Amino acid sequence: MIQRHIAARGLSAILLTGITAVATPVPGNAADWFQADLASESAVTPDIDRTGAGIPEQSLRIDPVVIDPIDSPSFDPADTASASDQFSGYSLADIESIALQNNPTIRAANAIAAKSEALRYQVGIRPNPILGYFGQQLGDESTDQHGLFIEQEFVRGDKLAINRQVLGHTAAAQHSETMTQKQRVLTDIRIRFYEAMAAQQQRDATLDFAKVANRGVEVAVDRRGAQEGTLIEVLQAKTLLSEVKLAAQQADAVHRGAWRDLASIAGLPEQTPMHLNDTLAKPDGVPDWELVYQEIVASSPEIAVANSIVCEKQSLLKRQKVQMKPNVTAQLGAGYDNGTNSGMINLQLSAPIPVWNQNSGNISAAYADYSRASENVKRIEQQIRSRLARTSQDFDSAWAAVNQYETEIIPQARESLELSEEAYEAGELEFLQVLIVRRSFYESTIRMIQARGNLAQASAKIDGLLLTGGLDTPQDYTDGDGIRGQSFGGQ
């Protein structure tokens, strides 16, 4: 009974270690740790002692580690000298700042906005004057006439000013598109950051539980050697360890994939996962989704782009209506008549007569474009409502899960684990039953981390105005300076 009590104390320490074990960083990746651990396991679990010889008390003692994977999943790089020398972590603000500088789509959007401003200036410039020479009766040296003339087209109907109004709205749309693209990048960064954060916590929690499971194998072997346990217990403990190691390898793969995705969006050079220094913050509560929809529509740069395009098409319709107001071309010439030995001045005015072409086709087309742009605003509003419906579903589901785990499942699992330890120490519960309880607590912890990650990602989408696609090509709403050419000639 003394040996059984000692083994019970050892198992209790293991389980307490598991309850409060944290995501302690492991040098390298999970596979490296597994290889090292396999070597240590072979030393820990040699051939089972079937002689029934007693095991010294000291061999069953385990010093518990008091850390909590649920409330404090991160770690301090100062925990180990090597970690402090080689490790540097990122916060969400760090990665957001880097992404805004490195993301190529933002630079592309800024370039398009600069182009729209240049075109806005270009379409309002007046036509250049024409300077020329004229000569008449050049075959007769005594009566030939020579002179210079200057010609200028005067644009009427305020066409050039309206041109700039049209392109001014285009430029406004491009600036809003730049803001839209920045928000898309930030939202993608936050979603992927929280995904990688949750993967990091799940990996670390799994690695810690793998250590606990490994110690469980040691205790099972010791109990078997002390004739307090059975071979079934040893095999069951080893099976649990193998399953947890597999889960840790899979969690490590998920973490690495999430990190590479995050690094690609942010333009980070590191392909090896770096530690993320942040928490999976829980929102204050479930929002009023109709109010959220109204706020998104009121502040969305995506809606601002669509409204600017409506204004552009409205100004273009106005521009087409004044297209047939004739321009006037004036020509002034001065020269010398050798036949009369006197100077001469010529003045000529001309303007097209809008008899056949009333520009009715372009006016109708401009009105159709205006109607389409107006309907596009409604389409985007409905699209936002549709995206919000899906996101709110994810938010509500994750919120319910997090609340349930925090208020009921985790406390109940922790209490069940504590009671199972007490029952085991009192000889009322078998070793395998305690392993089952411990595994249940571990699985609940993993699921809660996943729920917290899902909740943080859904919240990030809402905070990001439901805009995603940080590597999508930004829209170019400019159409060159062709409208300026239409301003001349009156045709």
Domain ranges (residues) in the chain: 2-486
Residue 305 one-letter amino acid? V
Q: What is the pLDDT of residue 136?
A: 86
- Alpha-carbon gap, residue 432 to 233, rounded angstroms: 6
- Exposed e or buried b per residue across 226-261, where buried means at least 16 C-beta atoms within 10 angstroms of its C-beta: bbbbeeebbebbbebbeebbebbbebbebbbebbbe
What are the φ/ψ torsions at residue 169 (nearest 5 degrees)? -70, -35
* CB-based contact 303:380 (threshold 8 Å): yes
Per-residue pLDDT at 13: 43
Check if the beta carbon of residue 151 is closer than 8 Å to that of residue 326: no
User: pTM for the full model?
Assistant: 0.79
Give the CA angle between residues 411, 220, 241 to the nearest 5°.
65
SS in 3 state form for the chain? CHHHHHHHHHHHHHHHHHHCCCCCCCCCCHHHHHHHHHHHHHHHCCCCCCCCCCCCHHHHCCCCCCCCCCCCCCCCHHHCHHHHHHCCCECHHHHHHHHHHHCHHHHHHHHHHHHHHHHHHHCCCCCCCEEEEEEECCCCCCCCEEEEEEEEEECCCCHHHHHHHHHHHHHHHHHHHHHHHHHHHHHHHHHHHHHHHHHHHHHHHHHHHHHHHHHHHHHHHHHHHCCCCCHHHHHHHHHHHHHHHHHHHHHHHHHHHHHHHHHHHHCCCCCCCCCECCCCCCCCCCCCHHHHHHHHHHHCHHHHHHHHHHHHHHHHHHHHHCCCCCCEEEEEEEEEECCCCEEEEEEEEECCCCCCCCCHHHHHHHHHHHHHHHHHHHHHHHHHHHHHHHHHHHHHHHHHHHHHHHHHHHHHHHHHHHHHHHHHHCCCCCHHHHHHHHHHHHHHHHHHHHHHHHHHHHHHHHHCCCCCCCCCCCCCCCECEHHHHHCCCCC
pLDDT tens, residue order, the chain (491 aa): 434 443 444 444 444 444 333 333 434 455 454 444 444 444 433 343 433 333 333 333 333 333 344 443 333 433 433 433 454 689 999 999 999 999 999 999 999 999 999 999 999 999 999 999 998 888 777 888 899 999 999 999 999 999 999 999 999 999 999 999 999 999 999 999 999 999 999 999 999 899 888 988 888 898 888 888 889 888 988 999 999 999 999 999 999 999 999 999 999 887 789 999 988 888 889 999 999 999 999 999 999 999 999 999 999 999 999 999 999 999 999 999 888 889 999 999 999 998 899 999 999 999 999 999 999 999 999 999 999 999 999 999 999 999 999 999 999 999 998 898 888 778 788 877 888 888 899 999 999 999 999 999 999 999 999 999 999 999 999 999 999 999 997 66
pLDDT of residue 216: 82
Residue-level pLDDT at 328: 95
Q: Which CATH superfamily is domain 2-486 in?
A: Outer membrane efflux proteins (OEP) (1.20.1600.10)
Q: Which two tokens stand for residue 409?
A: 């499942």
Backbone angles phi, psi at 374, to 5 degrees: -65, -40
> Residue 488 and residue 491: Cα distance in Å, rounded?
8
Question: Is there a contact between 143 and 447 (Cβ–Cβ < 8 Å)?
Answer: no
